[in-house]
């Protein structure tokens, strides 16, 4: 069985399926003129030396139409689950409209073979997004009329089982619509992944038997059309086309990988409709002053910049944040925050402006209160504030507006509902100003960014080799796009940083915190609450336990220590953790199930050094206005 990633399509030849016992799989007639499998591709160390093409198998089954005398229909093949050794079972998949059964594609007595192409995808997966965005490459094939393209979404953007809204959101990713789009449980398809589940999984299926003709994980969209043409030639029992030599950018990267690299160059963050002042220069100027003002803390010494220092990639350089006290987590950089839906490691805020509010009232960070913030704005920034947001409430009336107070404190609960709402409005506007400042901070141009724009010489050979490993190992599944993050949640079994030594529940607890927040993107203080459909499912589920938000890799070399607990003291240590793909269920330092997308890769020193060098090349000092 051939197992390849990125530089060569991972594929299971028909002969290998016979060896596995899939006796229903059709085969091609012997063709001495056809090249051997992957003849133009470099040899992979995982490939067995005796891989045979299906045409060499003397015991191939009878043609499907030989079993249909007089065109009699045949029952769907019996198969209980999705696996290599049996035909696809007759699954019933949800589509948002009528359910779809795989038996609709079953044509056992068809005179002319067709090909069912099944792509199993996840909304957070970079290669899945890339495949959806280049669906036209399949639908414009000369043989497209003989194809049925079925896409199956097995995970939504937040790495949860998809619902109908996820299907609707996913449709927007396409440059051309597939024949059918459905959703399914990811666990149904997991047996097809020998190692880590690198998506999309692409199955080429003969509808006459519902058996696999070929199987790939995360194939190159430029190479897949040839594989489809080749599969149809096998089913037609005609001479197979010669395999072309596919171009590799920089001699290393398949064209898909290069296209994804180009999309990793810095870009303006998308609009934030929930913050009408996100791109207002005056709001950014006020936000800058607030960001660096330590007086907005209980001891007058802790500013936002304490944990998000521009000199340290907008992080703080310590394992766990130190404000008025020491926290339980490492401070993530806010450099990419403006381009992301979710904030904090656990996603307990859903906008950059809501994130900016959290530290003020955290007893270990700034230890302040929203009433204290409102009074500080009135005393020091009244002119700047009112020019943007209008009049402040009468905060000098101390009987109505005490000097300090926040939900849960008696001074706050004694206030009228209208007065509390007025203070909340000031507090939200403070967050929107800080978010406007953070949005104005731009990443410096790194060596990697220059490479992404076409300057091959910007990276040393070692980093370019590391970039090849980045795609081969599946790092692009979670780290892609301008933020170098999928803006989703995964359990990668990083150690806890909690002071009590207990495992950190991550997203599982963050959902409850977000549910209780009045500053949600769909809440009363949002400038566009109707745009926040991602908040429709705010219920903690067990799959969230131990999941954390994927951090950006931009400036990663300068934002250590690393991990949500700050327990990695070097970039190399983080890379080794991924290379080992440690499943540590039962370890008190972690909790939850290791993400199936995480898999080991070679621990050769040259491989580790290459990835480390690549990550170091992604660092450049941010430009702070």
- Give the pLDDT band (50/70/90) at residue 520: very high
Residue pointed to by tokens 């609009």:
271
Question: Could you say which architecture CATH assigns to the domain 444-506+545-616?
Answer: Orthogonal Bundle (1.10)
Domain 14-246 belongs in CATH node 3.40.30.10: yes
Fold match, 281-440 / 444-506+545-616: yes
Residue 46 has pLDDT above 60, yes or no: no
Q: Which of 54-63, 141-150, 367-376, 421-430 has the lowest mean pLDDT?
A: 54-63
How far is the C-alpha of 170 from the C-alpha of 417, rounded, in Å?
41
Tell me the average pLDDT across 264-268.
95
Tell me what pLDDT residue 157 has.
Answer: 94
**CB crowding 561-571: b at 16 or more within 10 Å, else e:** bbbbbbbbeeb
Report pLDDT digits (tens) over 139-166: 999 999 999 999 999 999 999 999 999 9
- Mean pLDDT on 3-12: 39
Among 32-36, 429-433, 560-564, 611-615, name the one with the lowest average pLDDT.
32-36
- Find the mean pLDDT for residues 553-569: 95
For range 119-131, the mean pLDDT: 98
Say whether domain 281-440 belongs to CATH 1.20.140.160: no
pLDDT in tens, 73-117: 789 998 889 998 899 999 999 999 999 999 999 999 898 999 999
Higher pLDDT, 441 or 582: 441
Range 341-357 average pLDDT: 96
- pLDDT tops 60 at residue 29: no
Over residues 379-391, the pLDDT tens digits come to 999 999 999 999 9
Supply the pLDDT for residue 229.
Answer: 97
How far is residue 28's CA from residue 60's CA, in Å, rounded to a whole number?
9
The DSSP result for 230-283, as a single string, is HHHHHHHTSPPPPPP----BTTTB-HHHHHHHHTTS--PPPP-TT-TTTT-HHH
Domain coordinates in residue numbering, the chain: 14-246, 281-440, 444-506+545-616
Pairing of strands 115-122, 201-206: antiparallel
Residue-level pLDDT at 586: 76
pLDDT at 65: 52
Least confident interval from 191-195, 210-214, 463-467: 191-195
Give counts: helices (H), strands (E), the chain. Answer: 19, 9
d(CA 314, CA 442): 11
Q: How far apart are the first and last CA of the chain?
A: 55
| Confidence at residue 37, expressed as pLDDT on a 0 to 100 scale | 30
């Amino acid at each position: 069985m051939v197992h390849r990633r990125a530089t060569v399509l991972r594929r299971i030849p028909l002969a290998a399926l016979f060896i596995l016992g899939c006796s229903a799989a059709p085969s091609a007639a012997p063709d001495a003129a056809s090249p051997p499998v992957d003849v133009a591709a470099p040899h992979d160390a995982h490939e067995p030396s005796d891989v045979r093409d299906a045409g060499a198998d003397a015991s191939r089954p009878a043609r499907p139409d030989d079993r249909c005398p007089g065109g009699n229909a045949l029952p769907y093949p019996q198969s209980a689950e999705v696996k290599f050794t049996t035909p696809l079972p007759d699954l019933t998949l949800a589509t948002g409209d009528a359910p779809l059964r795989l038996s609709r594609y079953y044509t056992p007595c068809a005179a002319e073979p067709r090909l069912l192409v099944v792509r199993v995808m996840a909304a957070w997966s970079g290669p899945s997004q890339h495949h959806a965005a280049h669906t036209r490459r399949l639908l414009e094939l000369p043989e497209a009329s003989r194809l049925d393209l079925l896409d199956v979404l097995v995970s939504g953007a937040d790495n949860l089982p998809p619902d109908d809204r996820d299907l609707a959101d996913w449709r927007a990713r396409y440059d051309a619509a597939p024949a059918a789009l459905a959703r399914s449980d990811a666990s149904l398809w997991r047996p097809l992944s020998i190692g880590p589940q690198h998506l999309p999984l692409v199955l080429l299926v003969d509808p006459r038997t519902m058996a696999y003709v070929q199987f790939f994980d995360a194939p190159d969209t430029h190479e897949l059309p040839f594989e489809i043409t080749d599969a149809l030639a096998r089913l037609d029992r005609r001479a197979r086309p010669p395999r072309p030599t596919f171009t590799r950018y920089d001699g290393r990267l398949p064209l898909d990988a290069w296209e994804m690299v180009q999309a990793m160059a810095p870009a303006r963050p998308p609009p934030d409709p929930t913050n009408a002042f996100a791109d207002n220069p005056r709001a950014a100027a006020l936000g800058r002053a607030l960001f660096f003002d330590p007086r907005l803390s209980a001891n007058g010494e802790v500013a936002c910049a304490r944990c998000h220092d521009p000199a340290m990639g907008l992080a703080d350089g310590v394992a766990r944040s130190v404000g008025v006290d020491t926290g339980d987590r490492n401070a993530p950089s806010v450099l990419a925050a403006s381009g992301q839906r979710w904030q904090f490691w656990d996603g307990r805020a859903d906008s950059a402006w809501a994130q900016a509010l959290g530290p003020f009232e955290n007893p270990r960070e700034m230890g302040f209160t929203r009433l204290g913030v409102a009074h500080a704005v009135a005393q020091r920034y009244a002119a700047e504030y009112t020019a943007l947001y209008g009049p402040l409430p009468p905060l000098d009336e101390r009987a109505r507006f005490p000097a300090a107070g926040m939900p849960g404190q008696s001074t706050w609960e004694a206030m009228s509902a209208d007065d509390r709402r007025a203070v909340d409005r000031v507090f939200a506007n403070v967050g929107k100003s800080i978010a406007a400042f953070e949005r104005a901070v731009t990443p410096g141009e790194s060596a990697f960014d220059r490479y992404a724009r076409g300057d091959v010489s910007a990276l040393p050979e070692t980093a370019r080799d590391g970039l090849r490993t980045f795609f081969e190992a599946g790092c692009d599944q979670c780290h892609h796009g301008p933020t170098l993050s999928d803006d989703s949640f995964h359990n990668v079994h990083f150690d806890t940083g909690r002071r009590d030594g207990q495992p950190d529940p991550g997203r599982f607890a963050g959902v409850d915190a977000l549910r209780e927040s009045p500053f949600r993107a769909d809440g009363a203080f949002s400038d566009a609450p109707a745009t926040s459909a991602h908040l429709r499912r705010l219920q903690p589920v067990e799959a969230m336990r131990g999941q954390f938000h994927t951090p950006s890799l931009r400036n990663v070399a300068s934002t250590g220590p690393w991990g949500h607990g700050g327990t990695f003291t070097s970039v190399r240590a983080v890379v080794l953790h991924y290379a080992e793909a440690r499943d540590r269920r039962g370890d008190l330092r972690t909790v939850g199930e290791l993400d199936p997308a995480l898999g080991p890769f070679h621990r050769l020193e040259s491989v580790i050094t290459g990835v480390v060098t690549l990550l170091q090349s992604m660092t450049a000092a941010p430009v702070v206005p």
